[in-house]
Every structure is written in structure tokens, then in C-alpha cells.
Amino acid sequence: MGDPVSWLLGLSAVLLFSVVIGHILVALLLIIPTWRICQRAGFSGALALFHLVPLIGSFIVMGVLAFSDWPNGEAGQQRPVAGR
């Protein structure tokens, strides 16, 4: 059967790899629409890559979108002529 320590190490590596791949796949589902939202708001789409940061990444993206002025203008405002 082999050394149990090696067996455990192998299992841990497989589990860790699965978690990382799963995290990236889930983040991708969030990054694609968020990339477009950021671009439509006037920010760089790359801001959406914060979703790759575990736990707090989504909060960072949402915080930027929620609490900063959108360069492409916001509803209820006169269309901005001057860039910010």
C-alpha cells in the first residue's frame, strides 16, 4: 500500500489543487460580468480581478463601485462633460 505519510501528502496535494481550481472557476463566473460592469462604469475591467482574492476580493470590487464616482456618469446626474 505504500507509506501512509506519502499517501496523506498526496491526498492533501490533490485536495489543495481541487480547492484552488474550484476557487478560480467560481471567481471566473464573477470576474466576467464584473469586468463588464467596471468598464461600463468607466473603470478598468481589470478591477474585477480582485475576485481572485479570497474572502475580501468581492468586497473590494463592490466597495470601489459603490463608493466612488463613476467616470462614465451615474443615473440621476447630468451627463458629466468634465472628466474626474
Partner 1 sequence: MGAEIAALMGFFGITGAFALIGTVLAGWMAWRIVEKAGLPGWAGLGSILLSLTAVGAVVPLILLWVFAYMRWPRDEPAPASPGYAPPPPRGPPPPTGPAILPPPPAALADGRGWKLTGVLGNGGTVALTVYGGPATYALTGALATAPTDLSVPDPSVGQPHARLMTAGQRLGLEDLGSPGGTFIDGARLLPEHGPRDISAARIIRLGSVELSLTRA
* Binding-residue pattern over the window 45 to 84 for partner 1, x denoting contact by CB under 8 A: x------------xx--xx-xxx--xxxxxxx-xxxxxx-
Closest to partner 1 by CB, 8 or 53: 53
CB-based burial, 22-38: b 16+ in 10 Å, e otherwise: eeeeebeebbeebbeeb
Classify 76 as helix, strand or coil: coil
Alpha-carbon distance of 84 to 81, in angstroms, equals 9
- In the complex, the smallest distance separating the C-beta of residue 18 from partner 1, rounded to whole angstroms, is 19
Alpha-carbon distance of 83 to 42, in angstroms, equals 10
- In the complex, the smallest distance separating the C-beta of residue 49 from partner 1, rounded to whole angstroms, is 14
* Chain positions contacting partner 1, by CB under 8 A: 29-30, 32-34, 36-37, 39-45, 58-59, 62-63, 65-67, 70-76, 78-83
